[in-house]
A = this chain, B = another copy of it.
Amino acid sequence: MDNFTYKNPTEILFGKGMIPELKGRIPASLKVLFLYGGGSIKKNGVYDQVRDALKGRKVIEFSGVEPNPSYETCLKAVEIVRKEKVGFILAVGGGSVIDAAKFIAAAVLFKGKDPWVILEEGGSNVKMALPIGTILTLPATGSESNGNAVISRGSTHEKLSFYSSKVYPVFSVLDPKTTYSLPAKYVRNGIVDAFVHVMEQYMTYPAKVPLQDRLAESLLQTLIEIAPAAMKRPVQYEARATFMWSATLALNYLISCGAPQDWSAHMIGHELTAFYGLDHAETLAIVLPGVWRHQFKAKQKKLEQYAGRVWGLRTAEEAIVKTEEFFHSLKMPTRLGHYKISAEEAAAKIGARFRERKVFLGEHGTIGAVAIAEILRSRA
């Protein structure tokens, strides 16, 4: 086991009817930025619950945060926060809104000229941030209980992430009932996203971290087990509750404490979103099996462990096939062709970008531009 430090100060408020709990948790003296995306929270009643809980406070609304939240939108919010002297950001929505809140919270107090540098330097330059609270309505990214955020820049087709201990939400409300109105596609995306988050912290090599392995396998087994019930209508509270809690624990980084990680599928997937606009989860389902096949020898032992413990199968090959079948069972495609994207073109474009950035991926840092192009070419 490698040395590690771990701290997760976010307070989780989990369950039905928990939104009013935010009342006592935002200092009364602070002006609140109520940040959200499109109009879905107005249709499903969440907007009204939040306004009720914020009664008597100074609140400024900012809506229109996009999926894959854009730098440009965030900058507009930063301007308003500064002008209005906002002291607390309440993000209501999915990972996109929460990620935007984190970037805004850091950018407002950033001393440099252009806050894009926060992303270019991965957050190491964030010295302080406004406090954030979240009300999660889309289980998927785990952003409600970690210090990570991903922001996109339309003008340059860039999608970059940062981490800072300063942007953990102070509290996050997880009410499974807020997920009831989600379209099936979002539930599917959330399950795949959480599943691959676990995989990126697990599918490396046998690293003498038996507890971390078993915790990861617990999450994988649970997600597989509850996926059909979580997708079903009429909605089942228990399945949605387990899905929601699983997605949070999938990416609060507890399961990878002291363990090696390989975030290749995410890094390559981000580029597919940046160039072609695919949903984040859609990119993961395409890339993950490609990384596994390309790195078959390096990951074979761990794939076999996964095969046996999670699926009751024997070989690494069987585990890969079964994983793709699992994605297909959720109506999640695993090939670029499904989206009419040329694998050759994607390989060329994205390979070139990694060559330029001189970035190497994988748990041993050996997956370079050539390998990345090969992986994408294999996902035609």
A contact set with B: CB distance below 8 Å:
1-18, 21, 208-211, 214-215, 217-219, 221-222, 225-226, 238, 241-242, 245-246, 249, 254, 257-258
Contact of A218 among B10, B217, B238, B241 (CB under 8 A): B217
Q: Which residues of B contact A245 (CB under 8 A)?
A: 1, 211, 257-258
Q: A2-B15, A208-B238, A245-B258 are in contact. List 4 more A-B contacts (CB 8 A).
A: A7-B12, A9-B9, A211-B219, A241-B258
Is the beta-carbon distance between B211 and A222 smaller than 8 angstroms?
A: yes
Q: Which residues of B contact A11 (CB under 8 A)?
A: 5-7
| 23 contacting pairs across A/B (C-beta < 8 A) | A1-B14, A1-B15, A1-B245, A3-B15, A3-B16, A5-B12, A5-B14, A5-B21, A6-B12, A12-B257, A15-B258, A208-B242, A209-B242, A210-B222, A210-B242, A211-B222, A211-B242, A211-B246, A211-B249, A214-B218, A214-B219, A214-B221, A215-B218
A115 to B18, CA, bound (A): 34
A241 to B3, CA, bound (A): 10
Is the beta-carbon distance between B14 and A4 smaller than 8 angstroms?
A: yes
Q: A211-B219, A218-B218 given as contacts; is B1 within 8 A of A257 (CB)?
A: no
A214 to B17, CA, bound (A): 26
How many copies are assembled? 2
CB distance from A16 to the nearest CB of B (A): 7
Q: Which 7 A-B residue pairings sit nearest by Cβ, starting from the closest? A: A3-B15, A214-B218, A7-B11, A1-B241, A211-B222, A6-B12, A9-B9
A226 to B21, CA, bound (A): 42
Chain B: CB-nearest residue to A12: B6
Is the beta-carbon distance between B210 and A1 smaller than 8 angstroms?
A: no
A225 to B213, CA, bound (A): 13
A221 to B214, CA, bound (A): 8
Contact of A3 among B18, B210, B217 (CB under 8 A): B18
CB distance from A22 to the nearest CB of B (A): 12
